[in-house]
Amino acid sequence: MRSRALLALLATVVGTAIGTVVAAAPAHASLSLYRITAISPHDSTSPKTITATCDVGDTLLSVGGRVNDGAGDVLLTRAYADGALNLATAAGIEAIATTADWDIEVMAVCAPAGMISGLQLIETTAGPSTSDKFPLAACPAGKLAFGGGYKVEDGYGLASIDELRFDTALGWVQATSYANGAVGSYSLTAQAICGTPAASMSLVSWTSATNSISPKTETPPVCPAGTQTSGIGGAITGALGAASIDTLIPKPQLGAGEITVREVGAYSGSWNVLVQAVCAG
């Protein structure tokens, strides 16, 4: 009882964990999902783009990425799927000029051929305009979001990525961006990769403490037994462009994921980070 009370107190002080079950079955087999990765050259060139491809005949479920050694000066401006759901792309650009060496990693989740039926890519684009962007990509009736992606076009490092977020029922994916400088006309695309629901699907999440600490790295709860992480989402609350998603990746064994958010320049305000994992099996 004492340990349960302590865990409850820690969850209240440090953050909040949430698990929402969308569909469940008493027994189910693994979908045999797997992760693919690729990394760009590690140098001071900006911007950088890197791609990775699922095995022949297999299908992308989600795309994520990571900036290494960017120190908040580099934005992860793209983590998205191609129209054929086979090629994953991540891209980064300097928001604050730096002579430091850095790189971009793309990390994506693939499903073997035939394991998930009815997979399709849904895209919604906001812009081009100079305003903040909130595109939402909704799955068709009878399908759920296994994963998602996003891409900024013509932001030139002046549009911070605030969220790539799943709704609790896995019906849609929303991307959000806020300007961190005098941004020109740009666009933001949200992607939802939708399919016929698996036997078991759930969304697990964790919210960090609210404070001015940067960076923040958070991991959602581990997916339930018999399921794997098919997609990772995240959202920042309270920064409004002063911080941006730096890392949004599935873990190697697809049991969970990870988000890292860094401030873009100096910011004294308090903010928090939500990280989500879509679990499917």
Instruction: Please report the beta strands in 69-158, taking only residues with DSSP state E, as ranges in sequence order.
Output: 74-81, 87-94, 103-111, 120-129, 136-138, 144-153
Q: Is residue 263 part of a domain?
A: yes
Model pLDDT, residue 30: 82
pTM score, two decimals?
0.88
Any domain includes 221: yes
Q: Phi and psi (nearest 5°) for 67?
A: -95, 125
Phi, psi (rounded to 5 degrees) for 211: -165, -175
User: How many Cβ atoms are within 10 Å of 217's Cβ, its own excluded?
Assistant: 14
Is 8 within the bounds of a domain? no
176: in domain: yes
110 within domain boundaries: yes
Local structure of 13: helix, strand or coil: helix
Residue 190, in any domain of the structure: yes
Yes or no: say if 23 and 201 are a contact pair by the CB < 8 Å rule.
Answer: yes
Burial (CB < 10 A; 0-12, 13-18, 19+), residue 112, is middle
pLDDT of 179 reads 94
On whether residue 115 sits in a domain, the answer given is yes
Domain extent, residue 51, equals 18-280
Please give the tally of structural domains in the chain.
1
Q: What is the pLDDT along the chain (281 residues), one digit of tens a residue?
A: 333 333 333 333 334 333 333 333 333 448 999 999 999 999 999 999 999 999 999 999 999 999 999 999 999 999 999 999 999 999 999 999 999 999 999 999 999 999 999 999 999 999 999 999 999 999 999 999 999 999 999 999 999 999 999 999 999 999 999 999 989 999 999 999 999 999 999 999 999 999 999 999 999 999 999 999 999 999 999 999 999 999 999 999 999 999 999 999 889 999 999 999 999 99
Can you tell me the distance from the alpha carbon of 26 to that of 24, in angstroms, rounded to the nearest whole number?
Answer: 7
Residue 3, SS3 per DSSP: helix
Which residues 6+ apart lie within 8 Å of 46 measured at CB?
A: 74, 92, 93, 94
Residue 13 in domain: no
- Least Cα distance to 230 among 111, 136, 76 occurs for 111
Strand 136-138's sheet: what is its strand order?
Answer: 16-23, 201-207, 272-280, 228-237, 159-166, 172-179, 136-138
Cα-Cα-Cα-Cα dihedral sign, residues 47, 252, 224, 13? negative
Contact between 196 and 265 (Cβ < 8 Å): no
d(CA 151, CA 188): 6
CA nearest neighbour of 195 among 162, 223, 231, 227: 231
Nearest one of 258, 260, 264, 259 to 243, comparing CA atoms: 264
> Domain containing 130 — which CATH number?
2.60.120.690
Query: Per DSSP, what are the bridge partners of residue 121?
Result: 193
